[in-house]
């Protein structure tokens, strides 16, 4: 009914006038004291979704936080995914990366069981590990290219024999895959804007999932100045903790709403002014 990932993104961008993704990194220890019980994850997420659904273009549940809770966590993840409005894409932050039939089973899990619209993947075992996901043509893949954490530099900024960086080689692989499947983009951290122009110059028609503008201190303007004007709608900025845990009082959902509006408007302001 709602089409491909790209169609859903374009429609919700127009409807909500937003490029904001809210990450659902759920930690019981950070919940308000009023959120308790066996369905605490769902109860908390439900109120966050109710407060922010008109400010976002996607939700990004991080599967690790649910897997850490065992079967009960996975059950609540399914409830949360079912609760998210159908016109809002879900990016499952799973960072899978494996070969052959294992990759096929991961893809089946992500897209058929969880019914996510998109997924984050680690590309460092090669292009063939991404293809089982890309074969779901109505879905979308975000390959880890240049991550926001400091340790990402250990590999991503390695110099190759031709003088380029490893992340640039990864970009070129993503470009080849996107040319073939038309549904492959990149995770690029806002904390490393000085490298964003090279990513954008290679991946001219791909979506970018951009973490790092909240708690990690990345700059929206620095990212947007390093890509072409026509690419700015492809920049999807993720904020997790700074929306979810802006308050631990009973008003947490209202404060989360205000934070989501703040980031939505900040991104729009920067898009218009640069």
CB neighbours of residue 256 within 10 Å: 25
**Inter-residue contact 184 to 130 (CB < 8 Å):** yes
Please indicate whether residue 95 is annotated as part of the active site. Answer: yes
Run of H or E residues at 22? strand 20-24
In this predicted structure, what is the pLDDT of residue 215?
75
Catalytic residue among 95, 104, 169, 271: 95
pTM over 0.85: yes
Question: Torsion-angle region of residue 167: left (phi > 0), alpha (psi -120 to 50) or beta?
Answer: alpha
Model pLDDT, residue 111:
98
129/49 Cα distance (integer angstroms): 32
Residues 61 and 80 sit within 8 Å (Cβ to Cβ): yes
Looking at residue 1, what is its pLDDT? 61
Residue 178 near residue 185, CB atoms below 8 Å: yes
Phi first, then psi: what are they for 90, rounded to 5°?
-110, 125
The predicted structure's pLDDT at residue 8? 97
With tokens 């970009």, the residue in question is 171
Give the domain CATH number at 80.
3.20.20.70
Strands (E), 90-156: 91-96, 118-121, 140-146
The listed range with the strongest mean pLDDT (99-108, 144-153, 217-226) is 99-108
Using 50, 70 and 90 to split pLDDT, how confident is the model at 218?
confident
Q: Is the pLDDT of residue 192 over 90?
A: no
Per-residue model confidence (pLDDT) at position 243:
97
Beta bridge partners of 61: 24
Domain hosting 161: range is 5-273
Total domains, the chain: 1
**pLDDT of 207 strictly over 80:** yes
Q: Decide: 256 and 227 in contact? Cβ < 8 Å.
A: no
What is the tens place of the pLDDT at every residue in 152-173? 888 888 899 898 898 999 999 9
The DSSP 8-state label assigned to residue 148 in this structure reads S
Give the whole-number percent of the chain exceeding pLDDT 90.
Answer: 81
Q: Are 193 and 226 in contact (CB under 8 A)?
A: yes
Can you tell me the mean pLDDT for 20-46?
95
Which strand (E) or helix (H) includes residue 7? helix 5-16
CA distance 221 to 269: 9
* Cα 9–Cα 144–Cα 1 angle in degrees, nearest 5: 25
Averaged pLDDT of the chain: 94
pLDDT at 233: 94
Chain segment 46-84, per-residue pLDDT in tens:
999 999 999 999 999 999 999 999 999 999 999 999 999
Write the CA distances from 139 to 1, 65, 77, 93, integer angstroms: 14, 23, 19, 14
**238 vs 216, higher pLDDT:** 238
| Strand duo 20-24 + 235-239: pairing | parallel
Residue 131 has pLDDT above 70, yes or no: yes
Mean pLDDT, residues 245-269: 96
Residue 214 has pLDDT above 80, yes or no: no
User: pLDDT at residue 149 above 90?
Assistant: no
CA 152 to CA 148: how far, in whole Å?
7
105-119 confidence digits (pLDDT tens):
999 999 999 999 999
């Amino acid at each position: 009914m709602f089409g491909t990932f790209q169609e859903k993104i374009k429609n919700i961008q127009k409807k909500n006038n937003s490029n904001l993704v809210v990450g659902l990194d759920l930690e019981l220890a950070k919940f308000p004291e009023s959120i308790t019980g066996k369905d605490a994850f769902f109860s908390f997420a439900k109120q966050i979704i109710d407060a922010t659904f008109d400010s976002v273009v996607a939700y990004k549940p991080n599967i690790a936080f649910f897997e850490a809770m065992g079967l009960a966590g996975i059950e609540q993840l399914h409830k949360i995914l079912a609760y998210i409005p159908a016109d809002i894409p879900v990016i499952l932050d799973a960072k899978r990366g494996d070969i052959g039939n294992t990759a096929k089973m991961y893809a089946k899990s992500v897209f058929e069981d969880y019914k996510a619209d998109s997924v984050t993947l680690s590309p460092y075992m090669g292009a063939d590990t991404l293809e089982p996901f890309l074969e779901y043509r109505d879905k979308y893949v975000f390959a880890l290219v240049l991550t926001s954490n400091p340790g990402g530099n250990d590999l991503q900024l390695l110099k190759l024999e031709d003088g380029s960086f490893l992340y640039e080689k990864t970009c070129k692989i993503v470009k080849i895959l996107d040319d073939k499947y038309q549904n492959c983009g990149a995770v690029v951290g806002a904390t490393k804007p000085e490298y964003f122009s090279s990513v954008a110059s290679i991946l001219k028609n791909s979506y970018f999932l951009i973490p790092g503008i909240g708690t990690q201190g990345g700059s929206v303007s620095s990212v947007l100045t390093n890509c072409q004007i026509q690419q700015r709608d492809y920049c999807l900025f993720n904020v997790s903790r700074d929306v979810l845990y802006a308050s631990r009082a009973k008003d947490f959902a209202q404060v989360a709403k205000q934070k989501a509006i703040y980031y939505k408007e900040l991104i729009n302001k920067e898009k218009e002014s640069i």
